[in-house]
Structure 1
């Protein structure tokens, strides 16, 4: 069965790294139809009793329970209580935890339980377990909502830190319960080791002309095996990953230098300005010039 995909949300052309709100159900019945999205999603029930469908399996959760929904995992939520109920919703992009550029690629293993479609990790954690483990999750979920509503200075950093705290608690909880087969997946570990020379080279030499064939040779792999392995490990092809590295570096130059778009395109490794503009717009849904204007205006507003 095909399910609709909920697209990323954007503000001024920039993908929102996180979204949060309190979802309220006034009566029993469907709260949200079956769908999926790129965001990782976390729920914390404040009141009522609910049922959630996660990739073919139904789970129930009630006040005080926590639910994790993986990136691109099909889910649907129904209210079961006659009086309805409410729960906190926090969604965040996987890049908020691991961006693949400033962090070691070996840290990717920590993200796998949140992006793997057929994850076997415990997804609904009851209030009794949270209480027994003295988990900070209830407090952190409520703090995220408070920060989002009050918007005090630095609230964005506070929200990211709180999401990181929940992320870490889950990893350690699973580890303590022996739920880490993906982290010890020998095939993935082997792929990381085999591709590590290429991944490191791409991050430190993105401004140079780099081909998949050259990187395959650097890793002592055949071109076809390198390409298949790259897709399996990074969930994108070689060209897209290299372009993403270059775009992220271009973002920094657009807001921190006086270089024009053509100069920045060349500085980060794009052969032509037109291709740079096309790729930048594809990733950020705004042209480099528009992005630069928006960011500089934001800096002026901050200084003012």
Structure 2
């Protein structure tokens, strides 16, 4: 399977976003993109035509005015139909710089600790007014970045916050419910250390040192603030990386398990099945079937 990690080149590094309008006539190329992923959250707004998007668990046919969101580092691909015209806006944004003190009660959910933001796509099909409001925000962000009027950085920041607020206030499934307040100075070095060391043995003693806490206090603090133990958080990150590698790397399952720091294959299989409701082999085969469709 062709796949890759897509580099996102920000138009403004301070804003950590890229927003662009794409137009396909259907004549220059057609078919599926390879599976790909990126750290940034992706929002899509279709302006003309029909745009087809796929994730490992769902397929979307987006018509004019339709919006969808793809979570951080989630595999996805699009399809361009031959002879079909389509125009759409794509916003890539790293949310981390927007986690200021006003956001910290909600950081756990926007960081996708438990579930990818893909789960919020129910909002756009259930509530047309949410889709319309988010679509308008995406248009405003695109206009501000394209024209770069004085103060556009402030405007874009406000629109990003508005976008998150719309999702938060309309989420009646409470996927984005408030949790414990989390200090960003505590969170950022811990998250970065875990992300950069998933292939290694992660010692909580080292992480607690980075957080400036004792081992015991860190363990209790993390679980209280994040809603899950530090060990479970690391395991979820390892399995998410393993899922991407099953698609992006032509390696054996044993090699992939080792690459995400899990030498015990029985434990790896148990965790993978718990989080994905299938074995690694079944996941890989399912992705191959999706690739052929």
Q: TM-score when scaled to structure 1? A: 0.55
Distance in 2 (alpha carbons) for counterparts of 1:137 and 1:20? 14
Preserved CA contact (<8 Å) 1:34 1:74: yes
Distance in 2 (alpha carbons) for counterparts of 1:59 and 1:147? 28
How far is 1:111 from its partner? 1.0
How far is 1:51 from its partner? 1.2
Do the aligned partners of residues 139 and 172 (structure 1) sit closer, same or farther apart at CA in structure 2, a change above 3 Å counting?
same
Q: TM-score when scaled to structure 2? A: 0.57
Preserved CA contact (<8 Å) 1:96 1:160: no
Match of 1:130 in 2: 128
Could you tell me which runs of 5 or more consecutive residues in structure 1 were left unpaired when the two chains were aligned.
204-209, 237-304
Preserved CA contact (<8 Å) 1:6 1:37: yes
Do the aligned partners of residues 123 and 6 (structure 1) sit closer, same or farther apart at CA in structure 2, a change above 3 Å counting?
farther
Preserved CA contact (<8 Å) 2:42 2:91: yes
How far is 1:130 from its partner? 2.7
Distance in 2 (alpha carbons) for counterparts of 1:149 and 1:91? 15
Preserved CA contact (<8 Å) 2:106 2:177: no
Do the aligned partners of residues 125 and 24 (structure 1) sit closer, same or farther apart at CA in structure 2, a change above 3 Å counting?
same
* RMSD across aligned positions (CA): 4.2
Could you tell me which runs of 5 or more consecutive residues in structure 2 were left unpaired when the two chains were aligned.
191-207, 238-293
Greater Rg, structure 1 or structure 2?
1
Match of 1:147 in 2: 144
Match of 1:61 in 2: 62
Distance in 1 (alpha carbons) for counterparts of 2:4 and 2:160? 26
Preserved CA contact (<8 Å) 2:65 2:132: no
Output aligned runs, 1:213-228, within 5 Å. 215-217=213-215, 219=217, 221=219
> How many residues are treated as equivalent by the alignment?
211
Q: Does 1:167 align with 2:164?
A: yes
Match of 2:73 in 1: 72
Bigger relative contact order (CA 8 A; separation at least 6): 2
